[in-house]
Amino acid sequence: MPIDQRNKLEEEPFDYQSTKDCIRVFHHHKMVTILRGKAMLKLDKQLENAKTSKEVQLLLAKITGHYKHGNERR
């Protein structure tokens, strides 16, 4: 089963801004979360290792909680 069945990540709804002390994550140009400390360092490393823009979008979706909404089957 594909991760992004409805191709929402193709629209690239997420963006981020990295500063020396935090990473700000945006969803449709609205800031949804700020990461600092260990969480910031972990995401920064993952973003560096991401090979495609879809991987970046998936990482940002997971960190913000905008991931798997609706009627997912378990």
Tell me: the pLDDT tens digits for 45-65? 999 999 999 999 999 999 988
- Nearest residue to 58 (alpha-carbon basis) of 2, 17, 3, 5: 3
31 pLDDT band, cuts 50/70/90, is very high
Domain limits, the chain: 11-64
Tell me: the pLDDT tens digits for 2-23? 677 777 888 899 999 999 999 9
pLDDT number for residue 46: 97
pLDDT number for residue 9: 84
Q: Which helix (H) or strand (E) holds 49?
A: helix 37-49
pTM for this structure? 0.81
